[in-house]
Structure 1
Amino acid sequence: MDSNQRETEIEQCLDDIREEHSHYTPISTDDLSARPSSSNVIVTEPDRRSRSSRTMNTVRQTRELKIETEIHNVPEFTNSIQPQSTYSHKTRPIDVFQNFFPEYLVQVLVEQTNRYAVQNKSNNFTPVLSKEMKAYLGILIMMGLNPLPDMELYWSNDPFYNNAEISKIMPIKRYKKITENLHINDNEKEPNRNSPEYDKMYKLRPMIQELNKLFQQETGNSSKQSIDECMVKFKGRSSLKQYMPKKPIKRGFKIWARCDSVTGYLYQFEIYTGKGDSMEDEGLGYNVVKKLSVGLPENTLIAFDNFFTSCNLMEYLYENQIFAVGTVRVNRKDLPEIFKKSQPKHLRLERNQFAAVTAKPITAIKWLDTRDVNILTTAHHPTDTVFVKRTQKDGTKNKVLIPTSIAQYTLTMGGVDHFDHFRSSYPINRKCRKFWMRLFFFMFDAAIINSYITYNTVHVASTHSHRNFRLRLARELISNYSNKVKRQVVFKNKMGSNFGVPDAIRLLNVGVHLPDEGNTYKRCRFCSTKKEERRTKIVCSTCQVALCAKKCFKLFHEASPQE
């Protein structure tokens, strides 16, 4: 669309608005505290003779009310995510995942886990191998797909809970041993707490650095991204834990994230470790965006909420050829008077009206919906509008004319929420006391989600759901690995009550429990003890336990219910 057509459309929209709100009269730019209607948009520029005049609430030059059609050149934000590696329709989930969580990271887990087991003097610990560590990671993914209230239930003898695909991979004791000793960094090299080199994230630092590098390296930056916070639930003890009563997750770790606005792809994350993170006077929000935007290509649009937005931040990003849009708190410094709540009655906005002022490169827009919506942007013209559909109380849909900046903000801001939606679907979220384990699960989940999003660039998403992707990935990581050994049955005594079969199965329809002949001799579940071992080939067809045919088969099924 050429500039003439664009100007014509703008004029047509503005004429329609003027007719609708013709009872509003133009006001002078001498008083910026006035709130014009959408038919009388104020666009002002500050005098550039001094630094103080560059602030948006100081205007030295007075001019007639008019609507400018040009402020500064704004590019088209059309680039989507582009994988840097070559994939095809034959690419497997594990092929993509290994680019985000490569073999050397698995090897780090193996080496540090074995080292910590030695340092911790863990009893009866067999060193972990790479294949076993991959199988362990595969088990974590499967547990996220099939959550149970207690981890031990996956190995339960009750068929209602038992997960045969998990329990056949390794015994529960081995799983617990690996979890107990799992580590990412060498504890003996950790700096002293009083040392200037002390790092609160020391236990995770190698993986944080590698994953941030891989996430940005494997997929090119898109044109539209958002910056927001994620929460990782944790109720244990940690100085890093945050409490935010108004959030869905009230207690846990805060993570700053930069994601693609369309797909939710996570480019970069930073774990918040407390007030010490903010070393500059500009504030925490300013520093977070500044850090996460380092290395972004020119002509990228970033959206963030009112926690981050300020005039100084918008100017900093614009100087680095990065465009931004965000809601803003009315108590921020250097804001125009139109954002103030107290206004003369005859100048107050009615619903769906908006007002705008400009101090290059920043445009401030106030739109009245059910309540005030305040926006700062460097990527939108103050007079650009767009129709959106709004559902009314009676179910009907009406078209409402709103500023383009607000419509684009809504579309661009959802990247981190999209990522959180993926993360909450099948989370790797086992209870643990070690704070860093929860953060490790978050990073492992992030690698899986980014793999899935990248996988869908060459596959049809509808036929390869997130759930199926995770299941395939888990099975490919396990890859027929099994460390399962024959479990030795332990009995309390010769006539003990530890039968190993739930009463609901053992005593149900006893008449249909028929003896079958097995392939090998096994311990009799009823009479065999450590002191006197008795074996038989006879197996109950229903209970699937070995029982001596002469006496034990009958006595086992007639024994009183277990307490």
Structure 2
Amino acid sequence: MEAAFNAFDPDLYVATLHSRPEKPIDNTARPDEEPATQRGYHFEPLNLEERDPDISTIASQAAAPVDLFLQFLPEKIVEKWVQYTNEAADRYSRENHDFSRSWKPVNLAEVYLFIGIIIYIGLHREADLRSYWAANTFEKFLPDHPISRLMTRDRFFQLFRRVRIYNEAALDPTESHDPLNYQKVDEYSNFLQNEAISLWKPGLRVAVDECIIGYKGRSKITLTIPSKP
């Protein structure tokens, strides 16, 4: 049989021989073998061939950091986001005339600029998003952020609310095994995972810290460990 790495990703699989899932929608598998009736006296260890991790040429010899960035966010992906965003905005504008007067369709360059601003904001933290566009006064001196000259505050917040990385028309709210929140990121999540797999092949020794794996159980308690990546 085969089992997916996670229940919401149909593209990545690992073979699980002589085992069965605990639940129909659960990836946890247990042995499906008859119990042994006799005790063994001879142990044969599993000998694995030594294998070093391999990083592809694209990742190790990128001409510039932006080349590696574009590997994970190429134009073909952003062009889809442009299409999804404009289509969703068109549907909304038919119901909201005030929005239709203020909205201008996005293009490829503007979405890339918006993503760049998001990255900048992540590196240069302010208490409030509006602070990046705030003007200096005699009473209060504020940092001068260059992004304020690249995109207006109103346009940024408009895109912040309206940029779509998924096709709204393709969402299925009746799909119980794939909630809407997962459907919205499935397409790009699958692309990221496939690109990462194509760039890096793990070696023989791999360690995974359980604290960096997101927990999707029933607990509503969120535990944040600042020292973990």
TM-score where L is the length of structure 2 = 0.67
Tell me whether 1:215 sits opposite 2:196 in the alignment: yes
Residue 242 of structure 1: CA displacement? 4.8
Structure 1 residue 187: deviation in Å?
A: 1.7
Tell me, yes or no, if structure 1 residue 72 matches structure 2 residue 45: yes
- After TM superposition, list the pairs within 5 Å mapping 1:181-196 onto structure 2: 181-193=162-174
Residue from 215, 224, 227 that aligns with 1:248: 224
Whether 2:35 is the aligned partner of 1:52: answer: yes
| Structure 1 residue 138 displacement after superposition | 0.7
Give the structure 2 partner of residue 113 of structure 1: 85
Matching residue of 1:224 = 205
Aligned mates of 1:146, 1:242 — CA distance in 2 = 33
1: CA distance, partners of 2:129 / 2:50: 47
Which residue of structure 2 aligns with residue 491 of structure 1? none
Q: Distance in 2 between matches of 1:149 and 1:86?
A: 35
The aligned amino acid for 1:230 is I
Which residue among 157, 161, 174 is the counterpart of 1:180? 161
Counterpart in the other structure of 2:118: 140
1:176 counterpart SS class: helix
Any residues of structure 2 matched to 1:114-513 within 5 Å, and which? 114-121=86-93, 122-123=99-100, 124-158=102-136, 160-193=141-174, 199-200=179-180, 201-227=182-208, 228=210, 229-231=212-214, 242-244=219-221, 247-248=223-224, 420-421=228-229
Shift of 1:218: 2.2
Which whole-Å CA distance do the structure 2 matches of 1:91 and 1:211 have between them? 21
Read off the aligned partner of 1:106 and give its amino acid letter: V
Q: Is the 1:185–1:203 Cα contact (8 Å) retained in structure 2?
A: yes
Aligned twin of 1:519: none
Contact 1:154 1:166 (C-alpha < 8 Å) held by counterparts: yes
Partners of 2:190 and 2:179 lie apart in 1 by 13
The offset of 1:78, in angstroms, is 4.3
More strand by share: 1
Question: Per-residue displacement from partner, 1:302-351 (whole Å, max 9, x unpaired)?
Answer: xxxxxxxxxxxxxxxxxxxxxxxxxxxxxxxxxxxxxxxxxxxxxxxxxx
The structure-2 alpha-carbon separation of the partners of 1:192 and 1:87, relative to structure 1 and needing over 3 Å to count, comes to closer
Larger radius of gyration: 1
Q: Which amino acid aligns with 2:34?
A: R
- 8 Å Cα contact 2:59-2:68 kept in structure 1: no
Matches of 1:78 and 1:196 in 2, distance apart? 41
1:96 to 68, 86, 95: 68
Evaluate the alpha carbon distance shift between residue 225 and residue 189 of structure 1 in structure 2; reply closer, same or farther with a 3 A threshold: same
User: Contact 1:84 / 1:217 at 8 angstroms: preserved in 2?
Assistant: no
Which amino acid in the other structure matches residue 75 of structure 1? Answer: L
Shift of 1:221: 2.9
Distance in 2 between residues matched to 1:93 and 1:128, nearest whole Å: 26
1:230: how far off?
3.3
What does the per-residue CA deviation read over 1:205-232, in whole Å, with 9 as the maximum and x for residues that have no partner?
2111211111111222332334434349
Change (3 A) 1:177 1:91: same
1-structure distance, mates of 2:206, 2:70:
25
1:133-164 deviations in whole A, cap 9, x for unaligned? 11111111111111111000001113743433
Which SS does the other structure have where 2:36 is aligned?
helix
Q: Please, which runs of 5 or more residues in structure 2 have no aligned partner?
A: 1-32, 94-98
Structure 1 stretches of 5 or more lacking a match? 1-49, 233-238, 250-416, 422-563
Change in CA separation of 1:84 and 1:240 when aligned onto 2, cut-off 3 Å: farther
SS of 1:248's partner is coil
- Residue-by-residue CA offset, 1:24-64 (whole Å, 9 max, x unaligned): xxxxxxxxxxxxxxxxxxxxxxxxxx93227xxxx646x7x
> Runs ≥4 in structure 1, deviation > 6 angstroms?
none
Greater alpha carbon shift after TM alignment, 95-104 vs 184-193: 184-193
Q: Which has the higher contact order (CA 8 A, sep 6+)?
A: 2
Cα distance in 2, alignment partners of residues 196 and 78 from structure 1: 41
- Residues 99 and 218 in structure 1, CA contact (< 8 A), matched pair in contact too: no
Instruction: Identify the range of structure 1 (159-168 vs 103-112) with the bigger mean alpha-carbon deviation.
Output: 159-168
CA distance in 2, matches of 1:167, 1:241: 42
Higher helix share: 2
Contact 1:80 1:223 in 2 (8 A): yes
TM-score by length of 1: 0.30
1:467-525 deviation per Cα after TM superposition (whole angstroms, max 9, x unaligned): xxxxxxxxxxxxxxxxxxxxxxxxxxxxxxxxxxxxxxxxxxxxxxxxxxxxxxxxxxx
In structure 2, the partner of 1:515 is: none
SS of alignment partner, residue 189 of structure 2: helix
1:137–1:242 Cα change, 3 Å:
farther
2: distance between equivalents of 1:103 and 1:241? 38
**Aligned residues: CA RMSD:** 3.3
Residue 189 of structure 1 aligns with an amino acid whose one-letter code is A
| Change in CA separation of 1:86 and 1:189 when aligned onto 2, cut-off 3 Å | closer
Equivalent position amino acid for 1:183 in 2: R
Deviation at 1:196, TM superposition (A): 6.7
Aligned length: 185
